A and B are shown apart, each in its own frame.
Chain A
Amino acid sequence: MIPLSWYLLLGAFLFACGVTGFLIKRNIITLFMSIELMLNGVNLSFIAFATSLGTLDGHIFVFFVMVVAAAEAAAGLAIIISVYRTRETLNVDRVNLLKL
């Protein structure tokens, strides 16, 4: 018997770690991984609420979040490869020009 708030606290902690990583990291790949961490924290809240309320709708939402995360990873990593090809760097501080 675990209170609902413990799951929500863990989800909030994961989300906070993701936000922190997004703000303090400078490697563009690590920034993407921080976004995935945020999505995972939200997914945990969805599943905890779904189990608490006794409906399956939260599971469907998590499924859609996963699909969007997969699409985002595919397009985003292609952008990262494209950025690396033109700038020869992964540091986001150095990617500061729209046009070379």
Chain B
Amino acid sequence: MHLYLFLLFGAICAGGAVNLLIQRKAINSALSLIVVMGSLAVIYMMLGAEFVAVVQVIIYAGAIMVLFIFVIMLLNAGEEEPSKGSTVAKIVGIPGLFACVIVVVKLWLQQRPGERLIPIGAMYGPADQVGMMLFTKYLLAFEVTSILVLIAIMGAVVLARRSNS
């Protein structure tokens, strides 16, 4: 059951990622990215990361992608212009891609004696434990991140403002 769920949502995830590359309109790419993020949230849930799965749906699939789609609609982003592919990319890129795929598959098929198997429900990352860790062990990083977010807010306001007003 666990295996089938992983294969199903992993396939949806990979298909969404490939669809993002194939689509020529920005809005279609954005929608396939939402599919990727939603299926990743299910995979996180299977790995026991409850908090991260919920945050993935709320922040990534919710807030960030809404921002992207808002900008796509605001700027009326249509189909991207086709360009002629560079010859260097064709000469070097396609054999390089095949070489990388062969190396990865070869490494993956090798014997791995000590590989861990992850059963479903191996561990849980509920919000209270994650929050406890966030406010004790990683408190400094948390505070620094808040400054980063403050700078990002101010930067967004300054950059998106009309210069003549």
Contact = CB atoms under 8 A, between A and B. Distances in A.
B118 A90 contact: no
B64 to A, nearest CB: 5
Kindly name the residue among B6, B17, B104 whose own CB sees the greatest number of chain A CB atoms within 10 A.
B17
A81 B118 contact: no
Interface in A1-28: 1-7, 9-10, 12-14, 17-18, 20-21, 24-27
B115 A37 contact: no
Interface string B26-51: 10011001001100100110011101
B152 interface: yes
A77 B130 contact: no
Query: For the complex, would chain A's binding face be called helix, strand, loop or mixed by DSSP majority?
Result: helix
A96 interface: no
A91 B81 contact: yes
Interface residues of A, number: 64
Given A47-B52, A66-B56, A66-B60, A1 B26 contact: no
Contacts of A81: 71, 74-75, 159-160
B20 A37 contact: yes
B20 A4 contact: no
B134 interface: yes
B92 interface: no
Contact of A47 (B49, B64, B153): B49
Interface string A29-50: 1101110110010011001101
Nearest to B64: A73
Contacts of A79: 159
Given A17-B21, A40-B36, A66-B59, A29 B14 contact: no
A9 B108 contact: yes
A52 B49 contact: no
Kindly name the residue among B2, B18, B56, B152 whose own CB sees the greatest number of chain A CB atoms within 10 A.
B152
Interface string A62-97: 111011111111110111111011000011010000
A56 B51 CA distance: 11
B67 A74 contact: yes
Given A48-B47, A51-B118, A59-B51, 6 more contacts: A24-B21, A29-B75, A40-B40, A66-B55, A80-B71, A81-B71
